[in-house]
Amino acid sequence: MIAAAPAEIVVSSHVDKVRLTEEEPLTFSVTIAGPIHTAPRVSLSSLEGFQVLSTGQSQQVQIRGGETQLAVTLQYVLAPTVPGKHTLGPVTVEHEGRRYQTAPIEVEVLPATHEPTPPKLTPRRLPVRGGTVL
């Protein structure tokens, strides 16, 4: 009997924005989709310049032609720690003896905004009755 080759899965990653300020959170998502029967091993190579605030996972199951397709999305809510250009990833996924890797994502973090400068007041001349304005 010939063993069937493991079926291919698709791995992708994305962010909800590529430019943000130090004050804004960033959502970094990794999606693994295909005929997944065992939990894949996921490795994040770099989140430098960010702190993980929270993580989450969602799943979607579809049955196509008698084959079960699973899509797992891992979400990381990140807080920038320093301004500048940062690279997220690549993300590596190992599943049934195969290794998949996403492309790295470039993100730019801008310095935090300062308190708004109050508008300059323009002196107004008021009408004066019976006197002089100094």
**Does residue 21 lie within any of the structural domains?**
yes
Q: Which of 112, 97, 106, 103 is nearest to 23 (CA)?
A: 112
Tens of pLDDT along the chain (134 residues)? 444 455 689 999 999 999 999 999 999 999 999 988 888 899 988 899 999 999 999 999 988 888 888 999 999 999 999 999 999 989 999 998 999 999 999 999 999 875 555 566 655 555 555 544 44
**Is the CB of residue 2 less than 8 Å from the CB of residue 91?**
no
| Farthest-apart Cα atoms in the chain, separation | 112
**Does residue 9 lie within any of the structural domains?**
no
What pLDDT does residue 113 have?
Answer: 76
CATH number of the domain enclosing 29: 2.60.40.740
Domain that holds residue 23: 14-106
**Does residue 101 lie within any of the structural domains?**
yes
Structural domains counted in the chain:
1
**Does residue 131 lie within any of the structural domains?**
no
**Does residue 113 lie within any of the structural domains?**
no
